[in-house]
Amino acid sequence: MTADAKPNNVIRDVREAQFRMSRTEFARHVNATASTLGENTGCTPRLIAAWERGEVASPRPVYERVLHKLTGRSLTDLGFSPRRATISTVAVTVRRATYGRTRARTATGHGGPIHIDNAFVQEPDSGTLEDMIRREFLRLVSVTGAIVALPQPVAPPETGAAPTEDMRERSTLNADLWSVYGLTSTKQSVYPLVREQLASLTSALRGGQRASDHRELCGMVGDIAQLAGEVWFDANRYTEAAQCYLLAGDASKEAGDRDLWACALVRHSFVSLYARQYDEALPLLEAAAALARNGDGELPTRHWVASVRAQVLAGLGDADGCNRALDEAAGVQDLTGPAPGGWLRFTGDRLAEERGAAYISLGRLDLAEQALTRALREPLSPRRQGSVLTDLAVIGARRKDIDRLVSHGTGAVDVAYRTRSGYMIQKLHGLRSHLTPYVSDRRVRELSDRMTALGVRT
């Protein structure tokens, strides 16, 4: 049991008193009930034990549905925590463009209120990215893309000019939403705010504007669409993320912002990169590099492109090309301006972990471990820490060092439990393929069971 876990006596009492079953029997009953719902859960006695020890704060949505079918109770009535995310480090005031005035806002999402100004974000609900919401969002993306692509009528100067304060407020809200996204550990919790902002910008684009205002609004769409893509990407919904990045690229092109456009292409390349389709990712990065070379030389765009390109070249086995790209990425340390943040967050503090990941792909485990150990000493966000720990666990597995495999793997799984990040689930899927030779070890079996509880595929 982890240090801060509290036993869930409610779910234990349900099993023992209501169903009078052992953990093995109850796991079988959960799986049988799942089958009647058309689900495949793969529940095990160890997972039931993890629930009862309090190691799983909130089961995955599929288990929520099955347990409700079994007991008629909600998660909270079964002793689990509601799915929610908190921002504990900084209270963020999100401002909204309201035709010339600023106000702290409370938004209403699909699952309830979202109070940003008092530093609390309620995740919309357990079905945040379910099919209905997905279809609604993709329809919005489609409409926005069509409006961006339409020829713009010439607006009379006296009616076509958007109030300066309105434009400033819309831009400020974009920046604030990136801040919220960076602060919250559960990335999907910002979805309702991002969706509402995209809808607001789409509505603004429908009216006639001056050409300069139209370009500025397209730039804001290119910005917020990249954030929307990151939310979907974190949920392992790559098709939806790709649609967002396509919109971001089109809007950025219309805005005439090469750096913003290049970043949309970089993010789009991640869809192929994480599917290990390196040949598909490389042309996107080549196009991004060409844009960045003609962009703002004070921005780190070209260095971020090089960093991601290094990962792709490593995946293709091009060690020389990878090292050249890593050296180019290191040039970010020579920039003297402030870090831009928002849609372009690449800074020198990411170089060690990027180098370590590339060296793992190239099979240079000694260099990879040095770089990743150095990265782990730095302050990292939960997702970045989990990613580094996962890579170190892979090194342990490839070196047949079970102690390091289990130690780093457990740390990575702990991060995944805290963040519920689809990105971390995908990283752990890559690690799980390395566990098979060591399943005779009890600690490795327990690690594998915890991955199963998270939804990591075998």
**Two tokens, residue 294:** 């003609």
**Residue 146: other Cβ atoms inside 10 A:** 11
Check residue 16 and report its DSSP letter: I
Burial of 379: CB neighbours in 10 Å, binned 0-12, 13-18, 19+: exposed
Say if residues 33 and 44 touch (Cβ distance below 8 Å).
no
Distance CA 424, CA 405 (A): 16
pLDDT digits (tens, 9 = 90+) for 318-343: 999 999 999 999 999 998 877 778 89
> What are the CA-CA distances from residue 91 to residues 83, 104, 177, 419, 440 (Å)?
20, 12, 13, 19, 48
Whether the pTM exceeds 0.75: the reply is no
Number of other residues whose CB lies within 10 A of the CB of residue 447? 25
Residue 336: predicted pLDDT:
84
- Phi, psi (5° rounding) for residue 286? -65, -40
Q: Give me the pLDDT at residue 100, please.
A: 36
Cα(14)–Cα(141) distance, integer angstroms: 45
- What b/e string do you get for 152-161 counting C-beta neighbours within 10 Å, with b at 16 or more? beebeeeebe
Residue 204: which residues within 8 A CB-CB, separation 6 or more? 162, 170, 217
**In whole angstroms, what is the distance from residue 444 CA to residue 180 CA?**
36
pLDDT for 456? 85
Residue 426: φ, ψ to 5°: -65, -40
Per-residue pLDDT reduced to its tens digit, 61-94: 778 888 988 988 888 889 988 654 333 332 333 4
* Pair 66, 28: CB distance under 8 Å: no
Neighbours of 85 (CB within 10 A): 20
Summarize pLDDT for 252-263 with one digit per residue, the tens. Answer: 999 999 999 999
291 residue type, one letter: L
Overall size of the chain counted in residues: 458
**Structure confidence at residue 56 (pLDDT):** 84
Pick from 189, 194, 207: nearest CA to 137: 194
> Going residue by residue through the chain (458 aa), what tens digit of pLDDT does each one get?
455 668 999 999 999 988 999 999 999 999 888 888 777 777 888 889 989 998 888 887 778 888 988 988 888 889 988 654 333 332 333 443 333 333 334 333 333 333 433 333 333 333 444 666 778 888 889 889 888 887 765 555 544 455 566 788 888 899 999 988 887 777 878 888 899 899 989 988 887 667 888 899 999 999 999 999 999 998 888 899 999 999 999 999 999 999 999 999 999 999 999 888 999 999 999 999 999 999 999 999 999 999 999 999 999 999 999 999 999 999 999 988 777 788 998 988 889 999 999 999 999 999 999 999 999 998 888 889 999 999 999 999 999 999 999 999 999 999 988 887 888 988 999 999 999 999 999 999 999 999 988 888 76
What percent of the residues of the chain are helix, what percent strand, and what percent coil, each to the nearest 5?
A: 65, 5, 30
Q: 10 Å Cβ neighbour count for 438? A: 18
